[in-house]
Homo-oligomer: A and B are copies of this chain.
């Protein structure tokens, strides 16, 4: 039921899908859905809270970085896209229903804010090691994040049909090279 409501709401929107549809997609009767969750809104919120997307990134910044700009940016970018893709349905819902459930928007905002913070801090330590030019690390972190965010959103719709000639992996490598060349002293 939880995966059914996530799938359907991500595709058609909260008001675009009925409880009957959700129950049918989950293979249960509509009434058991209400016996479990009480209301349609509660069902969606329950499903939304059963997911998470943050811990893996924190661990990466704590343990996996090697101090080489290109390698680290590549790893961060790859991890970012794999996490975002795994949670793409959730993010689609947060995008579509942010005007209706402000709760979703807040949760979806925390993640990039944390990532920006960790990335800026990483840039700061790299600067202290003499491996980064003097620059506004917060802005550079945001730029790198937004570049990957834009790529992700763009590939979310129509399953990559918008730019068929370009593979995501080639973009990730190229963009890591670009930022490395721009930020290396």
- Measured between beta carbons, the chain B residues less than 8 angstroms from A40 are none
Which size bracket describes the interface of A in this complex? 35 or more
Query: A174 an interface residue at 8 Å Cβ cutoff?
Result: yes
Stretch at the interface among A19-27, A44-52, A56-64, A94-102: A94-102
Q: Are A162 and B95 in contact (CB under 8 A)?
A: no
Determine the main DSSP class of A at the interface with B.
helix
B136 engages A143 (CB within 8 Å): no
How many copies, total?
2
Q: Which of A30-38, A67-75, A124-132, A164-172 contacts B (4 or more CB under 8 A)?
A: A164-172
**Contact call A158/B105, Cβ cutoff below 8 A:** yes
Is B153 within 8 A of A149, CB to CB? yes
Cross-chain contact A147 with B154 (CB below 8 angstroms): no
Contacting residue for A13 out of B15, B139, B179, CB 8 A: B15
Distance to closest chain B CB from A82 (angstroms): 17
> Ordered nearest first, which 3 A-B pairs have the shortest CB separation?
A150-B150, A146-B150, A15-B15
Which of A's residues lie within 8 Å of B, judged by CB? 11-16, 95-100, 105, 109, 112-113, 116, 135-136, 138-140, 142-143, 145-154, 157-158, 162-163, 165-166, 170-171, 174-175, 178-179, 181-183
- Given contacts A95-B95, A109-B157, A178-B182, 5 further A-B pairs with CB under 8 A are A13-B13, A13-B15, A105-B157, A143-B174, A143-B175
